[in-house]
Amino acid sequence: MESASSPTPLILRRSAGDRWSIVAMAAVMVAPVVALVAGAVALAGQSTGAAAFLMVMAAFLASLAVLVVNEARVRWGTRIALDGPTLRLSLPARRGYVAHPPVHADLPIASIASIDTRAEAFRSAGTTVIQRAYSLALVDGSRIVLGADRRLVDAYFASAAAAIAERAGIAIRDIGTVDGAPGLLMLRGQTVPGWDEAPLPVLLAEKRERQEGRAWKLVTIVLLITALVRLLASFLE
């Protein structure tokens, strides 16, 4: 029988819905790339211009498909486990909007000095998005970024941070909001300041939240209009 001092190992992975939905999305993104390349090959001997156009379109869609495929790889490869006194981390580089050094390590839970969280805001092309990031501050002064949760994705890192905090017997400390750099239209090159960076003033942080709220309302309106147009078109066929 296990003693009270040896808690049951806890393995934390992203939900099945999170993992399989991104696989389906990757398939949807890859399929037209394959079709466009096949069309370009078929037209190569008949119309060089048309074939070139199809290849340009394929290259553009392929660049987006690579991002989705990488996101699928990340979601399937992320794992955090609490095994007795040990925290086992398997964290790919991209953990949210920002890429960090990958982490594949085991460390004593007792080496965690604090668990910190902050909101990270990115402004690009007139819109604002915010992710909620979590990190571990270790007693030796180093820090490990667990990752960040975004809208429309399960709050995996929030759940992991809560489980680690409970096992370590410490509280999660909210250190405010910071502005991140959006890179190229939030597609690549995003960065965030170090965790010792002073947070934004409260009023400015609240403004970022309002800006993101407006951006997501706009996205929702566009999606609803698109759905209504498709529905109307189906009735008119």
In whole angstroms, give the CA distance from residue 32 to residue 139: 50
pLDDT value, residue 233: 63
pLDDT value, residue 149: 96
Nearest C-alpha neighbor of 6 from the set 81, 84, 87: 84
Taking 70 as the pLDDT cut, the residues of the chain under it are 1-6, 222-223, 230-237
Contacts of 123 (CB under 8 A, 6+ apart): 179, 182, 211
In whole angstroms, give the CA distance from residue 86 to residue 110: 8
Dump the DSSP string for 176-214. EEEEEB-TBTTTB--B---TTSPPPPHHHHHHHHHHHHH
Tokens found for residue 140: 């030796």
Which helix (H) or strand (E) segment is 216 a member of? helix 202-236
The three-class DSSP label of residue 88 is strand
Nearest C-alpha neighbor of 136 from the set 116, 156, 108: 116
Q: β-strands 112-124, 172-180: how paired?
A: parallel
pLDDT value, residue 61: 92
Q: What DSSP state is assigned to residue 78?
A: -
pLDDT value, residue 2: 45
Cβ–Cβ under 8 Å, residues 88 and 175: no
pLDDT value, residue 216: 73
Helix axes 16-43, 48-77, angle to 10 degrees: 160
Q: Where are the beta strands (DSSP E) in the chain?
A: 10-13, 79-83, 86-91, 103-108, 112-124, 127-138, 143-149, 172-180
pLDDT value, residue 6: 65
Which helix (H) or strand (E) segment is 61 a member of? helix 48-77
Nearest C-alpha neighbor of 180 from the set 116, 126, 213, 131: 131
pLDDT value, residue 223: 67
Query: CA geometry: angle at 15 spanning 10 and 21, to 5°?
Result: 160
